[in-house]
Amino acid sequence: MRSKLSVAAVTGAALLLLTATAPSSAASPEPARNLGDPDYGVCRGTDPRCYHDWGNFDPAEGYKLLVYSRTAGPRHAHLGTPLGPGLNPPLNDNNVAVKAVLKLGQENGFAVDYTEDVTQLSSAGRLLNYNAVMFLSTTRDTLDDAAQTALRQYVRAGGGFIGVHNAFGTEYNWPWYEGLLGNANFYDHGANQPGTVVTVNRRDASTQGLPRTWAFSDEWYNLIPAPTRVRVLAEVDESTLPQGVRGNLGHPGHGEHHPVSWCQYYDGGKAWLTTLGHDVKAWTDEPMEGDQYFVQHLLGGVKSVLGMAPFCR
CA distance 289 to 119: 38
CA distance 165 to 163: 7
CATH 3.40.50.880, domain 44-306, yes or no = yes
Task: Tell me the DSSP string of 158-221.
Answer: T-EEEEEGGGGGB-TT-HHHHHHTTS--EEE----EEEEEEE--SSSTTTTT--SEEEEEE---
DSSP E strand boundaries for 41-150: 44-45, 64-68, 111-115, 132-136
- Residue 54: its pLDDT value, please? 82
3-state secondary structure of 12: helix
- Residue 11: its pLDDT value, please? 40
Residue type, 307: G
pLDDT tens over the chain, length 313 residues: 344 334 344 344 433 333 333 333 334 568 888 787 888 999 999 999 999 988 768 888 899 999 999 999 899 999 999 999 999 999 999 999 999 999 999 999 999 999 999 999 999 999 999 999 999 999 999 999 999 999 999 999 999 999 999 999 999 999 999 999 999 999 999 999 999 999 998 899 999 999 999 999 999 999 999 999 999 999 999 999 999 999 999 999 999 999 999 999 999 999 999 999 999 999 999 999 999 999 999 999 999 999 999 999 9
- Residue 35: its pLDDT value, please? 81
Handedness of CA 67, 70, 76, 77 (dihedral sign): positive
CA distance 280 to 285: 10
* Domain extent listing, the chain: 44-306
- Would you give the distance in Å from CA 18 to the centre of its chain? 41
CA distance 40 to 183: 9
- Residue 29: its pLDDT value, please? 67
Determine if the peptide bond prior to 85 is cis (ω within 30°): no
Give the C-alpha distances (Å, rounded to integers) separating 139 from 66, 119, 186, 238, 290.
17, 17, 11, 26, 26
Close Cβ partners of 174 (under 8 Å, ≥ 6 residues apart): 148
